[in-house]
């Protein structure tokens, strides 16, 4: 922070004002007449310009300082002076803003490309590829079917060699998961998926038929469905249940029916529930066995009647435990798929909505790129500014050092 500067002493100010007045030919306080006279004497002793030099300099200015200069008879001009002057004017041109602008454009372009480009595969992100990625990251449940085959079918249809490589990798992952589990490390997972497809309204009916085919192909079934077509708008919704082992393959086939606009996968570990249900069943069985043995050894009619009554309750508990375990097993073995097909005229085409979404995506990417560019350029600019300031002061100090040599 700059300290507030002291005011000039009033007497000093009065004397300096008198000097200025005398130089301007204005009247001066008689008390300061000596000072005024001294000032004009100094002014009149200023070194006059030689008319010859003045004429030559006038000519140079009139010609706009051509390259060759006349010799003024003074000391030899340093030969590098002109080059230095030109260099100085060159490096003072607005190169910095141009470089900063170019750097920003490069960074923005890089970030936009990185955002849009799927790193490592050279494949631009699409609904299908995102889905494929999601599926490959999903841990396969025990007994996963041959997902590779489904992926191969999808990729053969799309003609993507890279995807086949990816499918092979997924196959390896599935093979690892399919290895026999020991009783201790076996986990039970409940899976569920929801999928939203977008199709042309006229095709919604056909796509709905294909959904049933896919469910049957993977040993699943349609629990309920609803299809409505109203002019240029159509909508269909399905609740499917497919074997958990076939879930990924079924989803891939379903996603092939139309454009995927949304997808969601949930996996819940129900190993705890499974174990609890198993223990409950074992306990119920043991209780029934115990009561049966007691019934065999009953010594009186009344005791036998009482045991029969307890046995009836225990058998009810056994049935309930058996049902609980069956429910858990079914939730593990079968996965529900909630499928929605929307047909609002923007299925395969590129609509205003898509354009707006793309525009928002691009703006987000550009905004992020600008933020990154600023994060780089601002510190660089600050450091550059400090260096420039220090350099300027150093040059000035070195120049002025000659004034202190007297």
Count CB neighbours of 24 within 10 A. Answer: 8
Site for other proteins in 21-50 (CB under 8 A): 23-25, 35, 38-39, 41-50
Q: How far is the CB of 2 from other proteins (least distance, A)?
A: 9
Site for other proteins in 337-396 (CB under 8 A): 396
Choice from 83, 85, 209, 262 touching other proteins (CB under 8 A): 85
The answer to whether 244 and 191 have CB atoms below 8 angstroms apart is yes
Query: SS3 for 68?
Result: coil
Q: Is 6 in the site for other proteins (CB under 8 A)?
A: yes
Query: SS3 for 118?
Result: strand
Of 31, 32, 9, nearest in space to 19 by CA: 32
- The torsion angles phi and psi of 346, rounded to 5 degrees, stand at -120, 30
Q: How far is the CB of 104 from other proteins (least distance, A)?
A: 25
The smaller minimum CB distance to other proteins, of residues 39 and 257, is found at 39
The answer to whether 245 and 141 have CB atoms below 8 angstroms apart is yes
Options 12-20, 202-210, 286-294, 319-327: segment touching other proteins (CB under 8 A): 12-20
Options 51-59, 262-270, 302-310, 340-348: segment touching other proteins (CB under 8 A): 51-59
The smaller minimum CB distance to other proteins, of residues 45 and 297, is found at 45
Handedness of CA 15, 17, 22, 28 (dihedral sign): negative
Place of tokens 């085409």: 349
Options 76-84, 131-139, 285-293, 300-308: segment touching other proteins (CB under 8 A): 76-84
The smaller minimum CB distance to other proteins, of residues 9 and 161, is found at 9
> DSSP states of 262-323 as a string?
EEEEEEEE-HHHHHHHHHHHHHHHHHHHHHHHHHHT--SHHHHHHHHHHHHHHHHHHHHHHH
Choice from 54, 105, 169, 363 touching other proteins (CB under 8 A): 54
The residue ranges that bind other proteins (CB under 8 A) are: 5-8, 12-13, 15-16, 19-20, 23-25, 35, 38-39, 41-50, 53-54, 57-58, 60-61, 64-65, 69, 72-75, 77-78, 81, 85-86, 88-89, 92, 396, 399-406
């Amino acid at each position: 922070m700059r300290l507030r500067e002291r005011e000039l002493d009033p007497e000093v100010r009065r004397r300096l004002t008198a000097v200025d007045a005398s130089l301007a030919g204005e009247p001066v306080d008689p008390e300061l007449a000596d000072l005024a006279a001294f000032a004009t004497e100094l002014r009149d002793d200023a070194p006059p310009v030689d008319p010859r030099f003045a004429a030559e300099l006038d000519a140079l200015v009139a010609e706009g300082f051509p390259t060759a200069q006349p010799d003024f008879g003074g000391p030899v001009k340093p030969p590098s002076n002109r080059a230095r002057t030109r260099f100085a004017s060159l490096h003072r041109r607005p190169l910095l803003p141009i470089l900063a602008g170019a750097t920003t454009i490069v960074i923005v372009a890089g970030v936009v490309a990185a955002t849009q480009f799927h790193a490592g595969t050279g494949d631009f992100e699409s609904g299908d590829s995102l889905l494929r990625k999601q599926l490959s990251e999903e841990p396969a449940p025990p007994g996963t079917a041959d997902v590779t085959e489904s992926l191969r079918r999808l990729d053969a249809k799309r003609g993507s060699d890279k995807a086949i490589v990816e499918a092979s990798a997924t196959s390896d992952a599935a093979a690892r998961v399919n290895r026999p589990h020991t009783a201790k490390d076996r986990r039970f997972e409940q899976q569920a998926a929801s999928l939203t497809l977008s199709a042309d309204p006229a095709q919604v009916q056909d796509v709905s038929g294909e959904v049933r085919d896919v469910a049957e192909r993977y040993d699943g079934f349609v629990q309920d469905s609803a299809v409505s077509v109203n002019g240029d708008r159509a909508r269909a919704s399905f609740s499917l249940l497919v074997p958990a082992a076939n879930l990924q393959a079924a989803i891939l086939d379903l996603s092939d029916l139309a454009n995927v606009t949304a997808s969601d996968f949930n996996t819940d570990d129900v190993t705890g529930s499974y174990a609890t249900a198993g223990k409950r069943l074992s306990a119920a069985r043991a209780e029934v066995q115990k009561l049966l043995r007691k019934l065999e050894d009953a010594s009186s009619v009344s005791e036998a009647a009482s045991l029969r009554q307890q046995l009836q309750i225990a058998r009810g508990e056994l049935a309930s435990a058996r049902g609980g375990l069956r429910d858990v097993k079914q939730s593990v073995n079968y996965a529900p798929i909630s499928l929605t097909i929307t047909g609002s005229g923007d299925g395969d085409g590129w609509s205003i909505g898509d354009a707006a979404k793309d525009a928002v995506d691009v703006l987000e990417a550009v905004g992020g790129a600008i933020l990154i560019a600023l994060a780089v350029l601002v510190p660089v600019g600050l450091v550059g500014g400090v260096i420039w300031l220090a350099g300027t002061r150093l040059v000035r100090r070195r120049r002025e050092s000659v004034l202190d040599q007297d």
